[in-house]
Amino acid sequence: MPGPSQQLHERLLAFGESIRLLRRRVGLSQEELAHAAGLHRTYVGSIERGERNLSIGNAWALADALDASLADLLSPMPGDDR
């Protein structure tokens, strides 16, 4: 079983990947998504690479900008099937 920080790293990677997949599916650039979410483009890039333990408020802002619920972006996650 991965340690807490390894598990957090894997989850942030998975969350970032789901943001990227949905962003591309709806045809937004990182710049357009960042603008819609009120965030900086480089910050969105680092979130997509799984490098940010972002606030839940910023996670909701990204979900709103992608017209998705945060729950959708979080399912399924590594460790959910414990």
Where does this chain bind a second copy (CB under 8 A)? 4, 7-8, 11-12, 15, 38, 53-57, 59-61, 64, 67, 69-72, 74-77, 79-80, 82
Cα separation, 6 vs 29, whole angstroms = 29
Contact 34, 40 (CB under 8 A): yes
What gap in Å lies between CA 50 and CA 42, rounded to an integer? 13
Residue closer to a second copy, measured from CB, 41 or 74: 74
Residues 6+ apart with CB under 8 A from 45: 30
Min dist CB 42 to a second copy, Å, is: 19
Taking the complex as a whole, the smallest distance from the CB of residue 16 to a second copy amounts, in Å, to 11
Of residues 27 and 71, the one with the C-beta less far from a second copy:
71
Shortest Cβ 67–a second copy spacing (Å): 8
